[in-house]
Amino acid sequence: MGLTLLSQEVSVDSVRRHGELFLLDCRILIDDTERLLSSLDEGETVMLGIRLREASAESTFLNPRAGYYEYQRKVSWDSVEGLYVIDEPEGRRRFFSHKDALLDAVQSFQDLPIMVPGGKHSFRLRGEIQWKILLPPLNILSPFLTSLRSAGEWKVIEFYRPKSKAGVKGE
């Protein structure tokens, strides 16, 4: 059980406004794709996620996840089909036979809807990977097996910038 965390940076492709919502396209830049593929080949399920947070949101004692949005997908090897499969949170399954196509699909998050409260001009974003999803009842070990998780730094995403160009800067 190590304490080393890998950095999972996120690149933002675009932020578009649609009425009350903002739609975000972004990608997780996975450092160690070999580790991802070897985990899948060993029959493990891997979780990749984007976590968004309102820039000014403060977590409280009773609501530690105030202002959070999470978009997570599970990736695994389907031994019956003999194919890689991505399970999206809405229940959609996508199969892949080629590793390159799988990695491209895994890293890309398209049209993530963000509801931003009035008066706010930015939010924060980071990518997270759980390299092995522990199944019940072993999932209580997840917080103690920190080597199974890695997360990038929070990045501030600003909108309403001059020339309507979505910008990214390190926090």
Partner 1 sequence: MRKGKHQPLGPVSNILTVILLYIILIILVLVLARQILIDISRGEQLDNIYIIPLGIVLPVFLFGTVGLQMIKLIRDRRENRPGTRFKTKLMVFFFAISLLASLPQAILSLAFIDTALHSWYSADLGEALDGGVEIALAYNSQRVDNLVNLAESSLFYRLLNEADYRSLWETLQEANSAVDSLQIFRAFESLHFSGDPVLILDEPPETIAGNGIVPKEYLGSVTVQRVAREFRIEDGDSINVVFSSRFPDDFGISAEKLTQSRQSYRQIQEYKNIFRIILLIFFSYFSFPVFLLAILVSFLLSDELIRPIVSLEEATRRASEGDFSYRILGRSRDELSILTASFNRMMSELENSRRTTLQTEKVTAWQEIAQRLAHEIRNPLTPIKLSAQRILRRYEKDPSSIGEILDGAVSSIVREVENLDLLLQEFRDFARLPRSSRYPVKLSSLLDETGSRYPSVYPGISFDFSGVDRDIELPLDREQIGRVFTNLFKNAVEAMGSEGKITVRTDLVRKGNTRYCRVQVEDSGCGIATENQGEVFNPYFTTKSHGTGLGLPIVERIVFDHRGQIWFESAPGVGTTFFIDLPLEL
Stretch that binds partner 1, among 10-18, 58-66, 109-117, 152-160 (CB under 8 A): 58-66
Interior/surface letters 119-143, b for 16+ CB within 10 angstroms, e for the rest: eeebbbbbbbbbbbbeeeeeeeeee
Cis upstream peptide for 137 (omega within 30°): yes
Kindly tell me the burial class for residue 21, based on how many C-beta atoms sit within 10 Å of its own C-beta (0-12, 13-18, 19 or more): middle
| Binding status of residue 3 toward partner 1 by CB under 8 A | no
Rounded to whole angstroms, the Cα distance separating 150 from 52 reads: 16
Q: What is the C-alpha separation between 131 and 2, in angstroms, rounded?
A: 13
Question: Is residue 61 a contact residue for partner 1 (CB under 8 A)?
Answer: yes
Q: Per CB under 8 A, which region of 12-20, 26-34, 93-101, 157-165 contacts partner 1?
A: 93-101
Q: Which of 12, 105, 116, 133 binds partner 1 (CB under 8 A)?
A: 133
Is residue 14 at the binding interface for partner 1, with CB under 8 A as the rule? no
Instruction: Give the residue with the Cβ less far from partner 1, 16 or 65.
Output: 65
CB of 156 vs partner 1, minimal distance in Å: 19
Cβ-based burial of 46 (10 A; exposed 0-12, middle 13-18, buried ≥19) = buried
Q: Using the 8-state DSSP alphabet, how is residue 135 labeled?
A: P
66 in contact with partner 1 (CB under 8 A): no
Considering the complex, state which of residue 25 and residue 69 has its C-beta at the smaller distance from partner 1: 69
Binding site for partner 1 (CB under 8 A): 1, 43-45, 59, 61, 64-65, 79-81, 83, 93, 95-97, 130, 132-136, 138-145, 149
